[in-house]
Amino acid sequence: MIATVTVAATAAGSLLLTPLPAGADDHDTPPVRERSALTQGAAKASESTTERALTAPVTDLSGNGNGNATAATRGYPREQVLTPDPENPADKSIKLGLTPYHAIAPKLNALQGLGDRVSVEVAGRSAGGHRLYLVTVTAPETAQQSRAQDRMRELIENAPRTAAKDPAVKKTYKMPVFFNNNIHGNEWEGTDAALKLIERLATAKDKDTTDLLAHNRLYFNITANPDGRIAGTRANSNGFDLNRDLVTASQPEARAIRQIEIDKQPAVMLDLHGYVNGTLIEPTTPPHGENYEYDLFLKNTYANALGMEAAVNGLGYTPDKDGVEPAQIPFRDQEEGWDDWPPIFTPQYAAFHGTVVAHTIEIPLRVNNASYDSLPVTELRRRSAVNVDVAGAAMNATLAFARENRTSLVADQIEVFRRGAAGAAQVPVSEETVPGVPGIGPEDVYTTEFPRAYVVPAGGGQRSATAAARLVDHLLANDIRVTRATHDFRLGGRPYPKGSYVVDMHQPKRGLANVLLADGRDISDKVSVMYDISGWSLGRLWGATVDEVKSGRLADVPARPVQAASRVGYVAPRGDLRLRLDGPQEMAALNSLLRQGVPVRQAADGSALVPSSARRSAQALATAYDVAFDATNTRGGTPLSQVRVAAAVTPGELFALREMNFDVVPVSTAVLNDGFDWSAADVLFVSSGLSYDRLDTAARTALDGFLDTHGLVGRGATGAALNTATGLLKATAVEGNGDANGVVRVVNSGRVTAGAPDHSFVYAPVWFTDLGPEATVEQSYATGNPLVSGHWRSQEDGSGGPAAAAGRASVVSGANVVLFGTEPLFRDHPKGAFAQVGRALLTAS
């Protein structure tokens, strides 16, 4: 076995290799980053400082420059021999006549052997352990030429004004182009189109190809979701839709894409999907993301869309003969329904890293789901072949656009970073500011006013030091620059203690910093329907106190850049201990103590009381989870014990429960009808996939018997329906608009929610009325309009809106029952709300 190591850069730039702790998971360890230490989220935003570090001469790629940004940089090609995977005849790609996952490594080995243009690296591993292959296609480079490229890429982000004037950047910078394929596992054909394109590029001698590769680096994420490709599922093996995970980055595949965006800094990208007939080509309908430079994005993305449309239609497929409709561009052809508002999609996330041409492409002919099972193999393979052609046409058109417009595209990427670093105003889109894009109207104008900074306070002003550290590390992982105060300071009229973190919003990736930290916006009145979620604020949902600072002199703040949040794990040196249950890390530590048999009690304020005899265990957990065990003199409390959770929940909720270290066994209607052994569970958590009406008599009897002596935690309409069917707690669940979602204000009033944040998340919100005398209101939606950001309208009859929910109970409890109308574990995202579910499971059992 090869030991897994983490990599740390020393001040001199050398690498220290440190073994991971025993049992550590290698896919949770960030890969070695290509960028220099200067830009690993730690550089100051001041361009003058950065410029001095980056502006050593870079005159050309002939080896005469002094580029030395990354001493260990190798030239291209960077070939390696990939070990083949075992043949898997069950791979769902085979039926379609496409490339099964096990054939990809041999194919890439062969492509590397065709010449000196193709390189392969392993960008990470999937949740199921499969390798993620990143292929680079470019003209050969010496090590010195590659260092020059690194230096120019650094200059573009970190000293954009200088980069804009640098003749070497204009003449010799190889613009990165990124193709992301198969992020939805059962939307296969982008992978095969990419392999065909790489094969052609590897050997083509025509002038356009040689010019393209001399002035660009082309990156191909061959299959972003190998688990799903093999299994024929949209999601990865953890059940996650990876094209909804880019902001949370809970999954290793999403983290790999994030790292590619940061390290390669593409100006152009395509994300290949299916299936919409005719082929759907971004840009989208309103609303448009308000935090990125939409004028630059729209200008370039629309122009490339026209080229892709012509290429796809030019293939000659017709509706009558082939079942292929003409391509469509939603910005031009639709009014609403396919928006680019949330940053969770790969192209929208890419825009925050300087990508100025970014598209989702939906290829036309359906071959998945019911079609996969019902259509003849010959028809499936015909459709897949058409889809490969369509994906290839989109890729080739994009390469032509990149080759023809390289200079202006690089200039626009530089402008994205310049605006961020300078704190410049955004440019609203109009037919004057974005010439060549017809039909721009007021419905397309979305901008925001960026604050001067965000502060994550230290000390008494911080709700949770653990949550604050987690948030800061997440910002840094997203290439957001963060500093930490070396002395007390004042900013925006408020005092802050030493150790507080500051996010200066005059930085190249200000749009990403703002989209992560801002409250967001209520866009309910803008459009009638959204494609997916509309609110996601880490500032409100991750459990840390975050202050928005509208104005102030950052130059007066004594602070230093950080590369990682300071550790906050702590154990009081003597006496009994108290662990506040603020988030998933504290819940994980508590469950570990319970699993060890430590006699833990729960105090009236909801915290966990740990005896001094468990100090050694507490010290290990404080280090492992970065949590604090304070001293306490509190006596009494309710004994806690380890609980085994039977969970009929969504994949995101299952993942979050395991993140909190709960012992979980998934169940469903089918599992219970098959004869589930209830002795394996202490509490039932239901939100999805379990219907009391569909249980057979034996399963109902067994479930009723379990609930006579054990607890139920229910979430949403499904959990509430089970509670009603079993008669456990008198409470009427009222369902809000099923399309509603976003960040909401709440009021906490019970033990389950004690100390919880005053914001939560909803998706198809529920509230409770007609409560029986045994019911306790744990949490309520705030009065007025509880929606802070997102999209929540009333239904056509006027019901189901936020006004109807205002002041109503969002979480209720009774004897051995807790019901949630919010979504505190949604897609593993609202970290600050996780502990509510953890407490509910412990108390309901």
Among residues 632, 594, 595, the alpha carbon closest in space to that of 612 is found at: 632
Q: Distance of alpha carbon 82 from its chain centroid, rounded?
A: 29
Distance from C-alpha of 9 to C-alpha of 619, rounded to nearest angstrom? 28
Using alpha carbons, select from 428, 192, 187, 207 the residue that is nearest to residue 299: 428
From residue 10, alpha-carbon distances to 135, 259, 453, 559 in Å are 29, 21, 29, 21
What is the DSSP track for 558-569? Answer: -EEE-SSPPP--
CA–CA separation, 722 and 691 (whole Å): 7
Burial class (CB in 10 A: 0-12, 13-18, 19+), 764: middle
Q: How far apart are CA 33 and CA 42, in angstroms?
A: 13
Set 187, 293, 362, 586: catalytic member: 362
Catalytic (active site) residue 79: no
**Which has the closest alpha carbon to 521: 282, 342, 279, 254?**
342
Per DSSP, the chain holds a count of helices (H) and strands (E) of 26, 36
| DSSP H or E run through 7 | strand 5-9
How far, in Å, are 87, 118, 189, 219, 444 from residue 111 at the CA level?
20, 7, 19, 14, 44
Assign 363 to helix, strand or coil: strand
| Tokens of residue 321, six digits | 């003969």
CA angle, corner 235, sides to 231 and 238, nearest 5?
90
Distance CA 286, CA 764 (A): 22
Please give the Cα distance from 252 to 256 (Å, whole number).
6
Distance CA 494, CA 670 (A): 57
Helices 510-517 + 465-477 axis angle, to 10: 150
CA 411 to chain centre: 28
Distance CA 765, CA 802 (A): 9
Nearest alpha-carbon partner for 128 in 293, 238, 48, 260: 238
For residues 662 and 592, give the distance between their C-alpha atoms in angstroms, rounded to a whole number: 9
Cα 288 versus chain centre, distance: 18
**Residues in contact with 404: Cβ distance below 8 Å, sequence separation at least 6, in sequence order:** none
Q: 637: Cβ–Cβ under 8 A, 6 or more apart, which residues?
A: 601, 602, 603, 604, 609
**Under DSSP, is residue 593 helix (H, G, I), strand (E, B) or coil?**
helix
Query: What is the spatial distance between Cα 824 and Cα 813, in angstroms, rounded to a whole number?
Result: 15
Angle at 26 between CA 23 and CA 29, to 5 degrees: 115
Q: Identify the H or E element spanning 664.
A: strand 663-666
Radius of gyration of the chain (CA): 27
Q: Residues 272-285, buried b or exposed e (16+ Cβ, 10 A)?
A: bbbbbbbbbbbbbb
Which ranges of 423-565 would DSSP assign to H, the alpha helix? 465-477, 510-517, 538-541
Q: What is the rounded CA–CA span in Å between residue 157 and residue 421?
A: 9
Distance, CA of 667 to CA of 493 (rounded, Å): 53
Active site residues: 362
